[in-house]
Structure 1
Amino acid sequence: MIEIKDIHKSFGENEVLKGISGKFEAGVTNLIIGGSGSGKTTLLKCMIGLHQPEQGSVEYDGREFTQLNFEQRIEIRKEIGMLFQGSALFDSMTVEENVMFPLNMFTEQSNSEKLDRVNFCLDRVNLEGKNKLFPAELSGGMKKRVGIARAIAMNPKYLFCDEPNSGLDPKTSIVIDELIKELTEEYNTTTIVVTHDMNSVMGIGDYIIFLHEGKKFWEGSNKEIAKTDIEELNDFVFASRFMKAAKGKF
């Protein structure tokens, strides 16, 4: 479980996060949603230590992350997998080398042990035998799956996904969503997905936090989101669906 308490973050005079709290449980798909500028990516960066909040705390299973120094944070970071927006693969590395990267950095495993883990992860995301391909040879959906394979290479307790469906067609987006949910349940991972994709919200949103103008306006499940009478949330939900429909994606 990850718990955030009263997170505040400003950049100069711009207060981006205004006291965000929430609990993200293991084994369920946790979503942070909101429009552009709502603070969701800033919140994710505070949670993984890329930003230091001025106030509040981030706890990983009771371990207070925000108060740790750089060296102390490394032990928790070893337990974190990260799927970046755009996948962020190394273009000069093969698929195999990309997935092996965190194993080279954080483990003392032998080459054969690391290769076994790479092959397991590639098989798990349905990319068996694609080891020697380079990112330029992959489709957008395949790049995302390589990104997921790299994110789970260290068998993480915590998995963060930043806009995992960005740039993907609706069919591929569903495949990625289902893979993230499947892995979350299979390994009892604490998974947090930052997204503005309403298909993801309705498909895999076990627990959802909705941010608006740096504040938490609502929390609940995808079964509850359609029943809310919060104007800001309804505006976001229906605007998102309208924009998708206007582009011919619904």
Structure 2
Amino acid sequence: MIEIQNINKSFGENHVLKGIDAIFEPGKVSLIIGGSGSGKSTLLKCIVGLHEPEEGKVFFSKEEFTGMDFEQRVPIRRDIGMLFQNSALFDSMTVEQNIVFALDMFTDMSKQEKIDRANFCLERVNLKDKNKLYPAELSGGMKKRVGIARAISMNPKYLFCDEPNSGLDPATSILIDELIQELTEEYQCTTIVVTHDMNSVMGIGEYILFLYKGEKFWEGSNDEMLRSDVQELNDFVFASPLMKAARSTIT
């Protein structure tokens, strides 16, 4: 479980996050949504420690992460898997080397154990025998799956995904969503996804946190979202004809 309390973050005079509270439960895919500039990516970075909030607390399984120094945070960071928006693969490394990189940093596994783990993770994301390919030889969807394989290589308790479907076609986006959901259930991860993809919201949104101008405006499930009377949320969610049509079927 991850809990955040009264998270405030500013950049100069720009108050980006204003007192955000939320609880993200294990075994569920939680989504942070909102328009551009709403603060969703900043919130994710505050949770994982890439930004330090001026005020507020972050708890991982009831341990206060914000109160720890660098060394104290290491054990928790070992339990974190991160999928970045652009996959963040090392171009000069093979698929296998990209996955083994995290194992080199954080484990004392033997070389063969690391390769075995890489093979397991690649098979789990349906990329068996792609070990020796380089990122330039992969499609966008394959790069995302390699990123997921690297993220789960450490058996994470916490999985963070920043715009996992960015730049992908609809069919591949659905596959990535399904994979994230399957892995969350399999590992019982506390999974947090930052997204603007409404297909993802409707497909895997078990818990949704909606930010508006740096404030928490609404939280609930995707089913509850369709019935919400919060105007700011409705303006964001039902901007597309497809989502308007989805709402019309239940009203």
Separation of aligned partners in 1, 2:11 and 2:221: 31
Is 1:108 the counterpart of 2:101 in the alignment?
A: no
**Displacement after TM superposition at 1:74 (Å):** 1.0
Partner of 1:220: 220
Q: 1:243 to 1:8 in 2, by over 3 A?
A: farther
Q: Which runs of 5+ in 2 are unaligned?
A: 245-251
Separation of aligned partners in 2, 1:117 and 1:26: 23
Query: Which amino acid in the other structure matches residue 178 of structure 1?
Result: E
Query: Which amino acid in the other structure matches residue 14 of structure 2?
Result: N
Deviations 1:99-136, CA, capped at 9 Å, x for gaps: 11100010010001001100000000000000000000
Query: Which amino acid in the other structure matches residue 238 of structure 2?
Result: F
Separation of aligned partners in 2, 1:3 and 1:61: 8
Separation of aligned partners in 2, 1:138 and 1:233: 37
Partner of 2:14: 14
**Displacement after TM superposition at 1:165 (Å):** 0.1
What is the SS of the residue equivalent to 1:149? helix
Is 1:61 the counterpart of 2:97 in the alignment?
A: no
**Displacement after TM superposition at 1:205 (Å):** 0.3
Is 1:92 the counterpart of 2:84 in the alignment?
A: no
TM superposition score normalised by structure 2? 0.96
What is the SS of the residue equivalent to 2:223? coil
Partner of 1:173: 173
Separation of aligned partners in 2, 1:242 and 1:64: 43
**Displacement after TM superposition at 1:224 (Å):** 0.7
What is the SS of the residue equivalent to 1:175? helix
Partner of 1:118: 118
Separation of aligned partners in 2, 1:28 and 1:67: 26
Query: Which amino acid in the other structure matches residue 112 of structure 2?
Result: S
Deviations 1:163-220, CA, capped at 9 Å, x for gaps: 0000000000000000000000011000000001100000000000000000000000
Is 1:4 the counterpart of 2:25 in the alignment?
A: no
When the two chains are superposed, the root-mean-square deviation of aligned CA atoms in Å is 1.2
Give the aligned length. 244
Query: Which amino acid in the other structure matches residue 54 of structure 1?
Result: E
Partner of 2:127: 127
Is 1:38 the counterpart of 2:38 in the alignment?
A: yes
What is the identity percentage for the equivalent residue pairs of Structure 1 and Structure 2?
72
Query: Contact 2:237 / 2:243 at 8 angstroms: preserved in 1?
Result: no
Deviations 1:5-36, CA, capped at 9 Å, x for gaps: 00000011110000000000000100000010
Query: Which amino acid in the other structure matches residue 105 of structure 1?
Result: M
Partner of 1:248: none
**Displacement after TM superposition at 1:244 (Å):** 9.5
Partner of 1:154: 154
Within-5 A mapping of 1:164-243: 164-239=164-239, 241-242=240-241
Separation of aligned partners in 1, 2:242 and 2:135: 30
